[in-house]
Homo-oligomer: A and B are copies of this chain.
Amino acid sequence: MQHLETYRQEVENQINQLQLSNNPPELYEPIRYLLANGGKRIRPLLSMLSCQLFGKPGLSALHAGVAVELFHNFTLIHDDIMDKAPLRRGKTAVHIKWSENSALLSGDTLFVVAYKELLKQEAHFLSALIPVFSKTAQEVCEGQQMDMDFETRDEVSIDEYIEMIRLKTAVLLAGALEMGAIIGDANAKNREHIYRFGEHIGIAFQLQDDLLDVYADSKTFGKQVGGDIIANKKTFLLLKAKELSNSEQSAAFVKLEHENNHEVKVSRTKELFEQLGVKALAKEEMNRHFQLSLKHLSQIEVSDESKQPLKVLAHMLMDREQ
């Protein structure tokens, strides 16, 4: 996968070369700080591999991909304010290191910078690219709002949960791919398939996140194992478990919500998950979406060989331990 590393390097170069002003420093330092703190740059890689899939150089989609990456980082700044998250990628979150106001306004600015980056694509693509970008951005906001709403709701269905992760996580991968396809001059049918490929990969990716949070090896996992359980987060596992619970198990879940001993809370919740078999059900749902994504990739009318890089990236995404 030499392409991947070359592409990733181009993304880093492009981000490093952003002509960000120095003034006011409180506005631009937080942006530089977050962007310098890496991330895997998955989204621009998807744009470039999608463009390449349709026979154009992947680098032709660099600016669109970087725009998505900048937008993604903007959402991280604002999400961390809303979630009161202390850390991001192992470092102090922007709203703590500076202030909530600086984080709010730096985020807004980064959002503009993302649109400006997109504008660097050739003019004749813009009337197709910007609507995809804007629609995706709006959906990501909707997903984040749903996620916050779920915190205070008693009942959330599995369908609602899947719709939330589709909006909050999956559509941005799908949008990155679709924008690459637009620049690669893909036809409408192929654009639709590459979008669905990304959507299902995104849902599978988030379900894997839910699983890792509970079942990852604490030695290699970058975060606290059981963090979602401790925070009473309504993940697929918890929602499915509650759906399948008898009255005794339901009562146990209600009691566990208020359990202050984290170790006890995590181990008892895992016992209930075990009884109800939800780990297997989550894996099944994850695999179902992963297979659906591969099916959409297979339906794209280009040679099998040219699909290889995206297939490899898809497997890499689903084969992580952190």
Contact = CB atoms under 8 A, between A and B. Distances in A.
A303 interface: no
Interface in A100-122: 101-102, 104-105, 107-109, 111-113, 115-116, 119
B138 A112 contact: yes
Contacts of A138: 109, 112-113, 116
A193 to B, nearest CB: 25
A123 B123 CA distance: 10
Contact of A145 (B105, B111, B113, B146): B105
A141 B82 contact: no
A82 B103 CA distance: 10
Interface in A107-157: 107-109, 111-113, 115-116, 119, 123, 126-127, 130-131, 134, 137-138, 141-142, 144-146, 148-149
Contacts of A107: 108
Given A112-B138, A126-B127, A149 B104 contact: no
Contact of A24 (B82, B109, B146): B146
A123 B115 CA distance: 16
Contacts of A149: 24, 26
A108 B111 CA distance: 9
Interface in A192-237: none
A101 B81 CA distance: 8
What is the predominant secondary structure among interface residues of chain A facing chain B? helix
B104 A81 contact: yes
Nearest to A117: B134
A97 to B, nearest CB: 16
A74 B146 CA distance: 20
Given A104-B81, A130-B115, A26 B145 contact: yes
A153 to B, nearest CB: 11
A247 interface: no
A23 interface: yes
A82 B95 CA distance: 13
A277 to B, nearest CB: 32
A314 interface: no
A24 B163 CA distance: 12
A179 interface: no
Given A78-B108, A105-B148, 8 more contacts: A24-B145, A24-B146, A27-B142, A27-B145, A109-B141, A119-B127, A119-B134, A126-B130
20 contacts: A21-B142, A23-B142, A24-B149, A26-B148, A26-B149, A27-B142, A27-B145, A81-B104, A104-B104, A105-B148, A109-B138, A109-B141, A111-B111, A116-B131, A116-B138, A119-B130, A119-B131, A123-B127, A126-B126, A126-B130
